Copies of this chain bind each other. A is one copy, B any other.
């Protein structure tokens, strides 16, 4: 899938990913109303609203973007119906030719990580049959448990030609509490970055590895260092837009070839219609606002890369 992702990025000229992290508060009134009329104010109703919201955004943006990143927590909070909407979203985006990054941040001891890897990226055996439980193309993985927790994902990536992005330096304000602590004079995130590079060596695609990293747009100087430590890792960069990252902060995450990074925006795209800048579209045409926000984001990053 890393080759497919790179191909998609080259084709669209858009090194971005749309974060499908639908809080119910982002879903326009008319969509919520219709879903609640059909299913009541229930978990099923919420899940239907979220799904219809996603579908319309995907329909209005899929030709501009290489990938989407649904954040599973936003679905898991609506229980089983929510997770059903997650699965529908994954399937629909794949039909549309998009690479799907399941933002699941899983990670556990070996046998348990194996179950997560199978659940999200692989196939599970049931008697003589096998099934694809969630079927994302990529998953995000938490490294706190070390190699044992990552290896089962590597195995499934190899078998299924899928990919992972390992949390290295996250975008949130308190990410430094543990990640920045110095070990032999160097921050923990650099050691994790070195491991990402090592894990990735065994799993090379054409130009980039199946093993990528998550590094927050909110820490551009750290991104610069990590870019060098993991030259073959695609960097998934959250934190653009709503979290404060700007186009000019992003240039260090890219390699000289203009590849190597994919920048996520969630709220900034899916709830664009709530921003003053896109208010002219109105709530009914929320997905057109999202399309305009995608175009602006692509321009912002492109200009920053041209001016670096």
The interface of chain A, by Cβ under 8 A from chain B, is 21, 23-24, 32, 36, 41-43, 45-46, 71, 73-74, 76-80, 82-84, 87, 105-113, 115-116, 118-120, 124-129, 131, 133-134, 142-149, 167, 170-179, 181-184, 188, 191-192, 195, 238
Contacts and interface: CB of A to CB of B under 8 A. Distances in A.
Given A24-B125, A144-B170, A177-B195, 14 more contacts: A41-B126, A41-B128, A45-B127, A73-B115, A77-B119, A78-B131, A79-B124, A109-B238, A144-B144, A144-B178, A146-B176, A149-B172, A178-B191, A178-B192
A175 B142 contact: no
A41 B175 contact: no
Contacts of A172: 109-110, 145-146, 148-149
A29 B181 CA distance: 50
16 contacts: A24-B126, A71-B108, A76-B133, A78-B126, A79-B133, A79-B134, A105-B106, A105-B108, A107-B142, A109-B238, A144-B167, A144-B178, A146-B172, A148-B173, A178-B188, A181-B191
B32 A73 contact: no
Nearest to A145: B170
A178 B146 contact: yes
A106 B140 CA distance: 12
B77 A87 contact: no
A214 to B, nearest CB: 11
Contact of A181 (B129, B173, B188): B188
A23 B221 CA distance: 44
Contacts of A177: 146-147, 195
Nearest to A110: B172
B145 A46 contact: no
B42 A131 contact: yes
Given A36-B127, A126-B41, A174 B146 contact: yes
A23 B125 CA distance: 11
Given A109-B171, A146-B179, A179-B144, A76 B115 contact: yes
A133 B84 CA distance: 13
A131 B178 contact: no
Contacts of A80: 80, 83-84, 87
Contacts of A131: 42-43, 78-79
A144 B182 CA distance: 15
Contacts of A173: 148
Contacts of A184: 182
A79 B195 contact: no
Nearest to A177: B146
Nearest to A195: B177
